[in-house]
Amino acid sequence: MSIKSILYGIFAGLFGGGFSAFFPAITGGVGGLLAGHATALRDDVAFLVSQGASRTVYYIGGFFLLFVPDLYMARGGASHLLKTLYIPQGATDLYVVMTATAIASVISLVMFEMLVRGIVRIVVIYGLRFISIVALVIILFFVLFFSGWDGIIFCIVSSAVGLIPVFWGARRMNCLGVILLPVACNMSGFGEQVAVWLGLI
C-alpha cells in the first residue's frame, strides 16, 4: 500500500464524486464508475480508495451544496427532503452542518465494527435471500405509499433497464443513456417537443 496509490485514488475519487455531486441526473454510482475506470487498471488499492472518496464527496459534498450561501443547490435525496422542511439562512447553517457531520463521522467509526458483526450474524441466521425479499417488500411498500401505482410502474421500468447488463453483458454506463437523454433534451430546450413526437403528452 503505497502513498502514491492512495493519493491517486483520492484524486480520482474526488473528480468522480465532484462530477456526480454537481451535475443533475448523475448519481454516486456513476461517479464511482468514472473513478473506477481511472484506477481499475492501476492497482487494487487505488481503486478501493477512489470508490470511498467518490461516495464521500457525492453524499456529503452534495448535501453541503444546499447550505452554501448564494447557491443553495439541492443534490441527492437527503438535501431534497430537507429542503421541503427547512431553507438554510446563511453561512452559520453551513458551519453547524459541517460540525454535525464531523461528530457523526466519529460516532460511526466507533460503531462500525459492532454493526458489521451484527449484520453478519443476521445474514447467517436468516440467509441473504430472505433478507433481500424483506427489503424488496419494504421498498415497494414505501414507493406505493408515497407515489402510488405510477411509482410502481417506474420501478418496473427502471428494474428492467438495470437488468440489461446482468442478462446481456452490456456496460452499466450504456444504461445511463436512458436517464441522460431526456435530461439533455430538456436542458437543450426541446424536451417537450420530443415528448409530443413520442405521444407522451
Scanning 169-197, the segments in alpha helix (DSSP H) are 172-175, 177-188, 191-197
Which residue has better confidence, 167 or 28?
167
In DSSP notation, 64-126 reads: HGGGSTTT----SHHHHHHHTT----SHHHHHHHHHHHHHHHHHHHHHHHHHHHHHHHHHHHH
CA distance 70 to 89: 10
Indicate whether 193 belongs to any domain. no
CA distance 49 to 58: 14
Taking residues 85-101, report their average pLDDT: 86
**1-31 per-position pLDDT tens digit:** 678 778 877 888 888 777 777 776 677 667 6
What's the distance, CA 57 to chain centroid?
10
Indicate whether 177 belongs to any domain. no
Indicate whether 146 belongs to any domain. no
Indicate whether 139 belongs to any domain. no
State the DSSP code for 23: S
Indicate whether 12 belongs to any domain. yes
**Residue labelled with grid coordinates 452559520:** 92
Indicate whether 141 belongs to any domain. no
**140-164 per-position pLDDT tens digit:** 999 999 888 888 998 888 888 888 8
Q: Are 27 and 75 in contact (CB under 8 A)?
A: no
Indicate whether 166 belongs to any domain. no
CA distance 160 to 157: 5
59 membership: H or E segment, kind and range: none
Indicate whether 148 belongs to any domain. no
The pTM of the whole model exceeds 0.85: no
Measured from the Cβ of residue 176, the count of other Cβ atoms closer than 10 Å reads 17
**53-71 per-position pLDDT tens digit:** 888 888 888 888 888 888 7
Q: Are 59 and 13 in contact (CB under 8 A)?
A: no
Q: How confident is the model at residue 106 (pLDDT cuts 50, 70, 90)?
A: very high
The domain containing residue 8 runs over which residues?
A: 3-126
Residue 184 grid cell: 439533455
Q: Tally the domains of the chain.
A: 1
CA distance 175 to 29: 12
Residue 194: C-alpha distances to residues 65, 161, 200 (Å): 32, 21, 9
